[in-house]
Amino acid sequence: MPSSVELYLQYEGLIVPKETHSFESLQYAQQFKFKDDDVVAVTYPKSGTVWMQEILPLVLNGGDLTPLNTVVNWDRVPWLEETRLAKVVDQLTSPRALVSHFTYNLMPPSFHTSKAKVIYVMRNPKDVLVSSYYFHQMASFLEDPGTFDEFIEKFLEGRVLFGKWTDHVKSWRRAELGDRIMFITYEEMIQDFPASIRRISDFLGCNLTEEVIQKVAEHCSFKSMKSNCMSNFSLVPKKYMDNDKSPFLRKGIAGDWKNHFSSEQLARFTSVIRKELEGENFSLLWSLD
């Protein structure tokens, strides 16, 4: 198995995969010029990024399905920090949609001086961990996750992509962006998808009709995405992502962690996360137990 030194770059104390990132791309992100009408969906990895790549173009263009059917998702709504952005940035039409796994402090200077909006998507960290565990098994450009027990320790210590979950959430929760930021959870989106789309639409000033909202909900459903080759990562060569080991779009549900954690693992996980969020002025929408 390749070592983490071969697979990962260190950037500002965080690890990122070399397959999709380079020092040049991280530098490019720092110099990126945000426009006032840009929208960036920010997530900790495995928290609904790909879902937002599906939703944002439809909300921003009034439900036109063309981009979903003609452009692969990583070019349709590129990652701010990945090498691909420099190649596709000129093809993006305003209002541009991006995604990012950056913590707040890594956002480029132009972000802070612009009026660009952020949608921060949070997901129950236990489900994030389970999803990440399977992703590491199928992606050859990531380290082998080891046993589930070992991976829990890595996750809690922040020896995973983009560091500790708690640090990521805290950085964005503390960001003083006023009406430029909207927080939503993966679980809310699963529970009432049309209502979530309506919230996103209102936040972005798109004022979609009820009919368009239903259309977006239908075309951005897990089932619809799983069958769309522009969205399900099946176009990625098998040597990078082996869907036979675990499909990239695996379950798309909330609560799968219950099938994986033992009571000891749960107690350990919960105590660490609780301790790290002590004194924060936001509450989590999920019970950690």
- Residue 281 lies inside a defined structural domain of this protein: no
- Residue 205 lies inside a defined structural domain of this protein: yes
Unique residue bearing structure tokens 């500002």: 12
Percentage of the chain lying above the pLDDT 90 cut: 66
Confidence of residue 235 (pLDDT cuts 50, 70, 90): very low
- Residue 210 lies inside a defined structural domain of this protein: yes
pLDDT tens, 180-189?
A: 999 999 999 9
- Residue 250 lies inside a defined structural domain of this protein: yes
Where is pLDDT greater, at 170 or 65?
Answer: 170
- Residues marked active site are found at 101
Residue 267 has pLDDT above 90, yes or no: yes
- Residue 20 lies inside a defined structural domain of this protein: yes
Where residue 272 sits, what CATH number does that domain have? 3.40.50.300
Q: What is the pLDDT of residue 72?
A: 85
pLDDT tens, 159-179?
A: 999 999 999 999 999 999 999
pLDDT tens, 202-223?
A: 999 998 999 999 999 988 877 7
Residue 144 has pLDDT above 80, yes or no: yes
Where is pLDDT greater, at 254 or 245?
Answer: 254
In whole angstroms, what is the distance from residue 52 CA to residue 207 CA? 18
Q: Residue 57 sits in which domain range?
A: 4-276
Q: What is the pLDDT of residue 65?
A: 83
CB 28 within 8 A of CB 112: no
Instruction: State the total domains in the chain.
Output: 1
- Residue 284 lies inside a defined structural domain of this protein: no
Pairing of strands 39-43, 117-122: parallel
Question: Does 95 sit behind a cis peptide bond, omega within 30 degrees of 0 on the bond before it?
Answer: yes
Helix intervals (H) in the chain: 4-7, 23-31, 49-60, 66-70, 73-76, 84-88, 109-113, 125-138, 148-157, 165-173, 186-191, 193-203, 210-219, 222-226, 263-276
pLDDT tens, 12-22?
A: 999 999 999 99
Query: What is the phi/psi pair of residue 77, to 5°?
Result: -135, 85
Q: What is the pLDDT of residue 289?
A: 61
Q: What is the pLDDT of residue 97?
A: 97
